[in-house]
Each structure stands twice: as structure tokens, then as C-alpha cells.
Amino acid sequence: MTMTTAHETEVTADPNVPLIRIVREFDAPVAKLYRAHTDPELLVQWQGPRSIQTRVERWDCRTGGSWRYVATQGDEEYGFYGSFHEVRPGEQIVQTFTFEGVPDGVALEKLAFEDLGGGRTRLVATSLCDSFEGRDAFLASGMEAGVNEGYSKLDELLSRI
Amino acid sequence: MGAAADQLSRVFSALADPTRRDMVARLTLADATVNELAEPYDVSLQAVSKHLRVLEDAGLVSRRRDAQRRPVHLEAEVFDLMTKWIERYRRQAEERYRRLDDLLRTLSDDIEPMPPGQPPPPKGAPS
């Protein structure tokens, strides 16, 4: 695997507002990257960590549409849902995000697709949470899933040696 | 995870205030007394002490109880912890996007142009 096309993800946690910003560049044109976000069949192939199965129950990706998916890890199921607030093909997707375990919490997510020319695209994803606690739980949950992912890799490694 | 998120929250909300951020920035250079810290600000010593208490509760600074001057000391390892949390989150996002890189390479280039304001054509209901 070559490293020439690797564009490391940048993550910023804003100190003034409960916001997380993720910036990543892709060696793919806008239309393709956009499709990987709007076509549920493609979405499930990359979104969750390998240890988590994602079942999309609704993915009506248009302005005023809604979505729901269920993430399954072992015997446990976690539901997530939201609305598509403003969808402009090849440009941006604005949606809400709620974890059903915390139904009163909602984050406003914005995905902006920037054409860099030469078949490359920059994705700027921001999640604005409704409290610092909510935002920090997001960051901490990343930690937990990261640890789980680490274990699954260890399992794989152990099964090969 | 609850305790981790709680601590992270305290750190972030402590740093949400511009005066406290400035105090932390100055403490990265050297320890300082409350009087020294208060000097550049047009606020009371009590207000500065209150800011310091918030930073102390978040574990960002400490004060030596024994010394007469009780200089304020920056606890750099709390920043390391915060950086570590964000780094884990970042690595998880990076793994997700590498899966997306792989998927994008398998997609054909000739995508039908999307009419503006329309969703992409349905691909059949997800199973």
C-alpha cells in the first residue's frame, strides 16, 4: 500500500462552541464522494468500524427527508436518527443527528464538499452539539470505539499467528 | 466513558473563557503568583482567583500549599490527555475515511449527472 494518496484527517474541537470539525481530502471527484454519502448501500460499506454492522432503515437524502440506522455490535443495538435539513447535490448536506439512547440530545451536522480540481475533493464535516457535555461525550465515545477496534485487530492478529 | 467525558467537559468549559485561556497561555512560560497573573487584566483580584478556581477544578493548574507565594503551576499532562482523546477520535475518523478511499477507488467514473435539487436515483431498498 502506497502512502502517496494518504491525506490525514484533521480534527478540531472548538474551545468556544461545542463543535467538532473534521477536514479530509479525497482523490475522487465531488460527485463520487457525494454519492458515497447519499447512497445507503455505499454508506454502510465504509461508515462504521468493522466491529459494528450498520443497518440503514431509512435514508431519504433530500431537503426535508429523514434517516434512521441501527448499529449492531454483538447482541447490542444502537439506533440513530435525524432529518435532512438542506441537501444540495454535490455541494452540501445539512442534517440533524440524535442517538436514541439520549433522545433529548441533537447535533447539527454539516458536510461541505469542496471541488479542489483535478478530480480531488475536500470534505469539511462539522458537528455542532447542543452542549459541551454532549460534544465531549462524542469525543470520548470515539475513544471507546477506538479501543474496541483495537481489540478486533488484536483478535485478527491472534487468529493468524 | 462517563468519567472521561466529564473531565473532558470540565477542561473544555474551563478553556471556553478568553481570560482563562490567556492565563493558561502565560502559565506555559512560567509559574506565576495570583498577583502576577492579575496584573494585565482590568478585573479584581477576586475575579482572577475565581478564574483560577475553575482552572484548578478542571485539573489544569495547581497551587503549592506550602510555599508562601503559592505560585500557580500549569498541569501539562491534562493537555496531553485532552490531545490524546482528540487523537483517538481523529484516528477513528481516519480509519473510516480510508475505508471510504478504498470504496471510491472501486466506483466507476461515469456517474450520471445529478439534476439540481434532486436526490440520486434510488438504488433499491436497503436490506
* Residues of chain B contacting residue A65, judged by C-beta atoms under 8 Å apart: 119
Please check whether residue B35 lies inside any domain of the structure.
yes
pLDDT surpassing 70 at residue B18: yes
Query: Which of the four pLDDT bands, split at 50, 70 and 90, describes residue B110?
Result: low
**In whole angstroms, what is the distance from residue A156 CA to residue A126 CA?**
33
pLDDT surpassing 90 at residue A113: yes
Please answer yes or no on whether A139 and B5 come within 8 Å at the CB atom: yes
CA distance B69 to chain A (A): 31
Domain hosting residue B69, numbered range: 2-77
Domains, chain A, ordered by start: 10-160 (3.30.530.20)
Please check whether residue B11 lies inside any domain of the structure.
yes
pLDDT in tens, B27-63: 888 899 999 999 988 888 899 999 999 999 988 899 8
- Mean pLDDT, chain B, whole residue set: 79
Amino acid at A65: G
Please check whether residue B59 lies inside any domain of the structure.
yes
* Residues of chain B contacting residue A20, judged by C-beta atoms under 8 Å apart: 89
**Predicted ipTM?**
0.75
Please check whether residue B97 lies inside any domain of the structure.
no
| B100 vs B77: which has the higher pLDDT | B100
Residue B109 CB neighbour total at 10 angstroms: 9
Minimum-distance CB partner of A136 among B12, B91, B97 = B12
Please check whether residue B61 lies inside any domain of the structure.
yes
Tell the residue number behind the cell numbers 474551545, with chain if given.
Answer: A15
Minimum-distance CB partner of B8 among A29, A89, A139 = A139
Please answer yes or no on whether A65 and B119 come within 8 Å at the CB atom: yes
Please check whether residue B115 lies inside any domain of the structure.
no
Which of B11, B3, B85, B25 is closest to B54 using CA atoms? Answer: B11
Residues comprising chain B, all counted: 127
* CATH value at residue B48: 1.10.10.10
Taking CB atoms and an 8 Å cut-off, how many pairs form between chains A and B? Answer: 148
* Residues of chain A contacting residue B8, judged by C-beta atoms under 8 Å apart: 136, 139-140
- Span B70-95, average pLDDT: 82
* Residues of chain A contacting residue B121, judged by C-beta atoms under 8 Å apart: none
CA distance B85 to chain A (A): 6
Please check whether residue B124 lies inside any domain of the structure.
no
Indicate the angle between helix axes A132-160 and B2-14, nearest 10 degrees: 130
Amino acid at B118: Q
Q: How many domains does chain B have?
A: 1
> Hey, which bits of A30-157 come out as E strands?
53-59, 66-73, 76-88, 92-99, 107-117, 120-128
Please check whether residue B60 lies inside any domain of the structure.
yes
Please answer yes or no on whether B89 and A36 come within 8 Å at the CB atom: no
In this prediction, residue B58 carries a pLDDT of 87
